[in-house]
Chains A and B, each alone.
Chain A
C-alpha cells in the first residue's frame, strides 16, 4: 500500500529535550515536506526536500532541523523543543511534476504527529 508513515503519532515531552519525528514514504517520491498545523493558522511549511541531500527552509523553519540521507526518509529534528512548538505535524511527499497536470502534483500526507512540549 502506497503511504507516508510518521512516528510517533503522539508525543509529550519537556522543554529542551531533543526529539526526532520520523517520516518514511514507499512511493519513491523525490519531494518531501514537513508542515505544522495550528488552529486558525492552517498548514505552514517548515522544511522541504527536493531530493536526497537537498533541503531548504519553508515558512517557519526556526527551531527545526531536517536531513535527507535516503530518498524514502525525511526526519524532523527538534534540538531543544519549546512550548511554542506544541502542534500537529504532518509529513508529505510528492512525485516529480509530470507532463500533464492533475493528480501528478498530488502531495500525499502522513497521519500526523501530535506533539506537546511542556
Chain B
C-alpha cells in the first residue's frame, strides 16, 4: 500500500512558469512533510519541509501548500529556471521519535529555456 501518492510522474514547463507537484497521504499520524530535490548523479537533498500546523511555507522561490483536512500537500516553484530541472520527492514522517521517511515515487521536472 502506497502511503504517499505523488503526481505527476513527469512535468515539463517553460522558464518562468510555475510547476506544481502534488502529494496525498492517508496516515493521519504523519507530522512532518519534507520535499527532497535530486539532480542527476546525485543523492536527494532536503529542499523545504512543513509541519501540519501551518498551511504554507515559503523559502525563496519554493513554497509548500498544506491542506490538512484533505490530507494533501504540494510544492510550487515560482519563476522556474532551467537549473530547477531535477527529480522531486515528497515524503512524510510519522510521529515524535520516529526517523522513518515514507517517500512518494518522484516527479521528474524539466524546465525548458
Contact = CB atoms under 8 A, between A and B. Distances in A.
Interface string A25-40: 0000001010100001
Contact of B44 (A31, A90, A94): A90
Contacts of B99: 31, 33, 48, 50, 94, 97
| A contact face: mostly helix, strand, loop, or mixed | strand
Given A101-B32, A106-B46, A107-B46, A48 B100 contact: yes
A45 B92 CA distance: 13
Contacts of A35: 103
B44 A101 contact: no
A90 to B, nearest CB: 5
Report the interface size class on chain A: 20 to 34
B60 interface: no
Interface in B78-108: 89, 93, 96-101, 103-106
Nearest to B43: A109
A2 interface: no
B49 A101 contact: yes
A112 interface: yes
Given A31-B99, A42-B103, A42-B104, A109 B51 contact: no
Interface of B: 6, 9, 31-32, 34, 36, 41-46, 49, 51, 89, 93, 96-101, 103-106
